Amino acid sequence: MDYFGWIAAGDAPPAHWDLRQAGWELCGGRDGCRAECRHVLVCDTQALTAAQREAMAQADRPAWRLLMLGVEEPAERAHLLSLGCAEALPASTGLAELRARAARVADMFGRLPRWRDVGALTLDLFHRDARRGRRWLGLHPREFGLLWRLADQPGERVTRRDLLRDVWRLNHDPETNSVEVHVSRLRSKLALEGCASLVRTSPQGGYALAVERPFMLSERDAQGDELDAYLRQIAWDAINEDARSD
C-alpha cells in the first residue's frame, strides 16, 4: 500500500488530485503533525506566494517529499526543484500524471530508507546523524554507523564481530577497545536526550537496540519536524476563508 499526505487549506484533496482513486491511502499524520510521516506529501500551493513556496521547500530540505501543485511559472518550478522539492507542477496537472510522478518518488523512498525512527529519535541517513525533535545529536560517523547497524535488527543481539565487519569494515579483530569506546560515547550523547537505555549490552556479548521496531510511523513530538513547524506558521484559516469567498 502506498501512502501520501495532503498539505493544503482543506483536509482532503479534490477529486482531480485525490490519489485514493488510484489505490493510495491518505495519511493524516501523527499527533497533529501534517508533515511528520515519511512518504510523499502532495501540496496545493495555489494560494501561497512564491516566497511561501520557497520557504516550504527549504524547510523540507533535503527530504525530497514535497510534490507542489499550482506552481505556474517555469522558472519558479526549476528553482523549487533545485532546492530539493520532489516535483513542482502547474495546477493543470491531472490525476494520471500526478500518480505517475508520486509513484516515482515513492519508489525512491522504498529503495533506500532515508529515515528510521528509533524510540524518540530519528536517524537520518543523508545527514548521518540522529535528532530528537529539531535537535541534532552531533554523532561521529562511527557512532551513527553503530546506531544504524543496531537498527537493522531492533531488539536482536549484534555481535562485536558483526560491528567490526559492518561499521569498521574489518574482517579481523584489531584487538583494541574501539567498539566499546564508541558505544560509550554514543550512550553519553543518547543520555543527554533522555535515551540512555536505548543501546543495551547483551549478556551473551555484543549490543542490541532496546526497541521492537525502528520504523517510520511511531509516536513523535508534534513539533519535531521542521517542515511541520513551518506549516504551522501559515495562516491556513485565512486561506480557507479566501477559498470559501471565491
Residues 106-145 as b or e (16 or more Cβ within 10 Å = b): beebeeeebbbbbbbbbbbeeeebbbbbeeebebeebbbb
Half-sphere exposure of 152 (CA within 13 A, CB side): 16
Q: What residue spans define the domains of the chain?
A: 3-113+224-245, 120-209
**Residue 36 pLDDT class (50, 70, 90 cuts):** low
The 10s digit of each residue's pLDDT in 123-174 is: 888 778 998 877 889 999 999 999 999 988 888 999 999 999 999 988 888 8
Q: Which residues pair with 8 in a beta bridge?
A: none
Higher pLDDT, 228 or 207: 207
pLDDT at 213 over 80: no
**CB-count exposure of residue 224 (10 Å: 0-12, 13-18, 19+):** buried
pTM higher than the cut 0.75:
no
Higher pLDDT, 84 or 151: 151
**Residue 220 pLDDT class (50, 70, 90 cuts):** very low
pLDDT at 243 over 60: no
Residues in the chain: 246
- Strands 199-201 and 207-209 turn out to be antiparallel
Fold classification of 3-113+224-245 (topology level): Rossmann fold (3.40.50)
Q: Which residues pair with 67 in a beta bridge?
A: 42, 87
Whole-number Å distance between alpha carbons of 115 and 117: 7
Half-sphere exposure of 77 (CA within 13 A, CB side): 14
Backbone angles phi, psi at 34, to 5 degrees: -80, -15
CATH number for the domain formed by residue range(s) 120-209? 1.10.10.10
Residue with cell 477559498: 243
Q: Which amino acid is at 62?
A: P
